Amino acid sequence: MIYILHGEDSTSARNFLLNLQAQNKIDSRIELVLEDLNLKDLASSKLALETKSMDMFGQSKLIVLDVSKMGRTNVDSLIDFLKECPTDIFLIIYSAKELSKANAFIKNTQSLKARVMEFKKKDKANIFSFVDAVFSRDRPNAFKQLRKLLLEGEDAVYLLTMLSYGLRNVAYAKFNSSLFHKIPPFNKSKVKTMSEKFSEREIENILEMFYEMDRGIKYGEYDPAVVIPVAVEKVVTY
Q: Which of 77, 99, 118 is the last residue of a domain?
A: 118
- Judge whether 66 and 32 are in contact, CB under 8 Å: yes
Range of the domain at 138: 127-237
pLDDT of the chain, 238 residues: tens digit per residue: 899 999 988 877 888 888 888 888 888 889 999 999 999 999 889 998 888 887 666 678 899 999 999 999 999 999 999 999 888 899 999 999 999 999 999 999 999 999 999 888 765 568 899 999 999 999 999 999 999 898 888 888 889 889 998 999 999 999 999 989 888 777 889 999 999 999 999 999 999 999 999 888 878 888 888 999 999 999 999 7
Q: Which of 65, 87, 118 is the last residue of a domain?
A: 118
- Judge whether 70 and 42 are in contact, CB under 8 Å: no
- Report pTM: 0.55
Residue 72, Cβ density class (10 Å: 0-12 exposed, 13-18 middle, ≥19 buried): exposed
Number of structural domains (the chain) is 2
Residue 64 pairs in a beta bridge with 31, 92
| CATH for 232 | 1.20.272.10
> Do 21 and 77 fall into the same domain?
yes
Q: Which of 95, 118, 141 is the last residue of a domain?
A: 118
3 state SS of 195: helix
pLDDT at 56: 66
